[in-house]
Structure 1
C-alpha cells in the first residue's frame, strides 16, 4: 500500500493498459483505424504512466518504462517496417521508406505524449536522451543504417534521370532528402556524409563526361549556353528538393567540370573564342561569359588576360596602319593620317569601354585589362611622334578655325572629353601639356580659336583629370587674352585723348603674363623707323598704367598688314613683323644684298634665310632674287618685284614652318629636372633620413601622375643636390641620405 492508501499498480498490470493504446496506435499507422485518440483515452494512458512513475520503490517503474518505450518501437520496426522495405527496390523502396519514416515520426510523437511524465522528470534528472530523440535513434540504428546506401543510390539515379530530361517525382526526392537531414537531429553530418558527398562525386563525374563531349563539338557560345542552362537547373534542383546548404558546393562542382577544367580550350577556340566574339560584337555571348566566369574564384583572370591581349593587338594594328599609310607621303598627308589614327583610337576605346561597362558590368579586373592594353600602345612612338603630341594636335584641329573636322558643338565636347580620357593612359602627360599649351597659344594669339566655350570646356575636363596645377598656365593664357582686349580698348582711348601721340598706323598690342605662356624666342631686331614709333607710343601709354612692369617685345608673334604698290594694282600683304621689316627696307632702296639686310635688321642667318625664302622663293615672289635659284645664300641680292600681281586684293605670305618638336621636348626635359629636384627635396625635408631605394620609389610615385621619371635621371639629380648642399651621404652607409636644412 502507498501513503494515500491506494493499491500499487504492478508493472505487468500497468503495461497491459499501455499495450492497448500502443496496439491501437499501430493499427492507425497501418491505415486500419480512422479515428485518432480521444482525450479520455489519452488521459487514461498518460495517468497510467504517471501513477507507475510516482509510486514508492520498489514499485517506481520509470527506468523499466523508459526501456519498454524503446523496446516496443524496436519491436514494431522489426515486425512491420523492415520486412516491407526489404522486398522493394528503387523508387518503390523510396516511397515505402518515406512512408515508414513519416509513420515513425507519428508513432514517436504519440508515444512521447503518453510517456510524457518520463520526459519531465526521469529523463532530465538522469541526463538521458529525450523520448523523441530515443525514438528517432531507434529508427536511425535499425532502419536508416540498413537502407541509407540503397536510398542514396536510388536518389542519385533519379537526379541523373532528371538531368537527362526525364520527368521524376520531385516531391518524393524532397521527402527522402528531408529524412537524411532530420535523422541528424540538428546536425548536418548524416546528410553530408551519407548523401551529399556521394551526390557531389557523381555530379562531378556526370558533368565531366558531358563537358568532354561538348568542348570538342560545340562552339564557345553554344558551350556557354549549355553550361549556363546546367547551372540554372542545378540551382533550381536545390530549391526543389536538395538542402539549401548544398547550393554553393554543388554549383562549384558543376562550374569546375564545365568551366574551370576547360577554361583555356573554351576561351581560345579558334573560330568562336573570346577574340572572335569581341571582333564580331557578340554582346550577348560576352555578357554570358562574364556571368559564368565572375562567379568562379579567379575565373575572370584568363578572360581579362585574353581581353587585354585582344585590345592590345587591335591597338597595334592601328599603329601599324598609320605607319604603312604615311610611308613616304608628304607632311600634310602624314598629318591627316595622324588625325585619323587618334580618331580610330577613340573609336576603339568607345567600343571596348562599352564592353567593360555593359557586358562586364564595370568589373575592376576587366577595367584594369582595358587600361593596361591602352597604356601599352598609347605610349608607342607613331610615325616619329609621341601619342602625347598627337592628342594635342588632334585637339588643336578640333578647336581651331578651319580645322579638318566639321563637328557640331555637342560632338566637339563629347570628342574632347574622350581625348581627356585617353590622356589618362599616356605616361608623358607633361609632354602633352607643353604641346597643348604651344598650340593653344597660337590659337589665342592669331585668333584661330573657333569657340571660347570649347577652350574652357576641355580645360575643365583636364583639371578634373590631372589637377589644377596641370591647367593653371593654360587658364592664365585665356584670362590674359581677355585682359589684353581691355588693355587695347584703354590704348585706343589714350590715343583718342592724345592725338599728338598717334603711331601713324593702326596698332594692336597684346600684353601677356610671362609665366603663363611658352618661352618665345626674342631677338634684338632693329626695327624700321615706322615700327619704332609704334613701340615708343605704346611704351608711353603703358607707363601711365604701371611703372613696375617691363615690356619684352616678341616680334616673332606679330603680324602686319602692309600695302604693296605693284604696277598692275596695289595688294594688301598680310605677314609677320619680321617679313614686314624686310620689305620696308625696300622703300629706301631698289636693290639690297643679303649682308645689307642682315646688317640693317641685326638678324642671325637662320632667321634671315627663312624670311627671304618666304618672300623670294615661295608661292608669292614679292622680291626678285639674283641669282634666281630655289635657295637663299649670303651672296644673293634682292630687289622689289614691281611686276608681281595676284587675282586677290589681299594675300597672306606664310613663313616656312619650323619643327618646334625639338624645342618642346627640350623644355619638358628641363622642367622634369626641376620637378625631380623639387620632389626629392620635398621627400627629404619631411623624412630627414632615407635610403636610396625608398627615396627613388617615393619620387617615382609622386611624379607618376605627370610623367614616368627615368631612374638614371633621378640618380643624377640626387648627385646634383648633394653638390648643391641640399643632401649629404651618410658617412658609414653610402646608400643613406640626410637632408641639410
Structure 2
C-alpha cells in the first residue's frame, strides 16, 4: 500500500518529479500551476497511487512519497511578496488606493510566515511604520505656530495613524496571531504602532509641549467665557490616555493651572460686596467644572479638580464669604444642593460630604442636619422605587412609561410652591398608582406633587433621525401636544397644559428660541408674544443623540431680596 496524503489526490511520475526538484518549485496541486502566489501550508509534494502505461501495454504501479524536508520557495517570491505588502502599507499611509485585495495580501503574509520568515516580516513592517511616523514629526515641527491649526493638525495626525494601523493590522493579522502572539517580548502590531507614535511624536519635547499647552489654553479660554471646540479637546485627551501619558503629560499641568486660575477667582470673589451675585457665581463655576469633566476630561480627574475648586472658592475664603451673610448663604446653598441632588448633578458624594463637614463648623448642626436629611431622603427614595417596581409587576399594571419618584420630607427641603397643571391621562394613572402603593405602606401621610421639579426623557423622531430629549415636565406637556397636531397657538397650548402664563412663555422660549429648537415660532423673535403660533420642527438636527434642552432660568435676585 502507498502512503496517503489527505491534502491531495493527484500524482506525478518520477521523471516529472525530478524535473520539478531541479527547477526549485513548489507544487501545491496540479490545478494550481498558474497561481504562483497561492502558497499554502500544504507545501509537501503529493502522494498516492499512479497507474503508468508502458510501451508494451503493461501497467506498473508507481508510489510517490512525501519529501523529507519542505521544498524551497519559488525563486524571488520573498522579494516579490514583500514588495507587494510594502506597496499596500505605503498606499494606506499615503491615503491612496491599494492595488491588491485584502485576501491576496493576507495570503502573502500567511505564505511568508509558513516559511519561517515571520521575524524578518515583523522587523520590515516595523521599519516601514517607523519611517512614516518619523516623516510625520517633521511636518508637525514645522507646522503653524498658531494654537488652533496646530492642534487640528495634531488631531488629524493621530486619527490617521489609528485608522492606518487598524487597516495594516488587518493585512498582517496572521502574523499578529501566530508569531507575535507566541513571542512575549514582542508588542502586537497595534501596540507597536502606539509605541512608535508615542516615541517619535508625543515624547518630542517641542510637539508635546505645544500639544499640552494648546489644550490648556483652550480650557482657559472656555473658563473665561469663550466658545471652543470641545470635541477637539476630547479627542486629543483620549489620544494621551490611549498612549498612557495623560497623567504625566497633561493632568499635573492642568491641575496646577486650575489651582492658579481659581486662586485668582477666589480673591476676586472676596472683594465683591454683593453676596447673592458672589454665591451665584460660585455655583456656576462649580457646575461648569463638573460639565467640563463629563465633556472631555478623564473621570479620574474629577475628584482632584473639584477639591481644588472647593478649596480656592470656598475652603480658603468660606469664612470671609459667610461673614458677609450667613443666612443668605444657607438659603442659597440649600436650594442649590437640592437642585443638584434632584437632577443628578452632584459632582460626587464625597465632595458633598466634605463640604457639609466645613459647613457644620461654620453654621452649626441644626443647618447641616437638614442637609443630611436631604441625602437620606434620596437613599430612601431609591429603595421605594425598587418596591414600586415589584408592586406594579405583582398587580399586572400595564404601561410603557417608566416612573421615578423622589419622596421629600418637607422640613428638610427648600419650600416649593405647588403649581396646578393638566397631565396626560397616562401620567395621571401613573401618579394614582404610585399614590395607592405609597399610602398602603404609610397610612396617614399626605402626598403633594411638585410639578416644578419634574423632568422627563422623551423619544422623538425627526426626518433627520431619532433623538432623546431631556426636558422638564412643563416642556414635556408642550411637546406631547404635537403628537396630536401640527401647530398650536400660545392660547391653545395654555388651555391644554394649564401652565401659568409666565411659566408657559419661558417654556416655549426654551423650545423655540434656544440652541436646540425643536419647535418653530411664527413670527420669529427672541420673545414669546400674544398671538404667536408654534410648529414642530420636522427638519431639526443635532450632532448628539441625547439632547438636554435647558429651561430659561428666572432671575435669582428675587430670592435674595430682603
TM-score normalised by structure 2 residue count: 0.49
The structure with more radius of gyration: 1
Q: By percentage of residues, which structure has more helix? A: 1
Bigger relative contact order, structure 1 or 2, given CA contacts below 8 A and separation 6+? 2
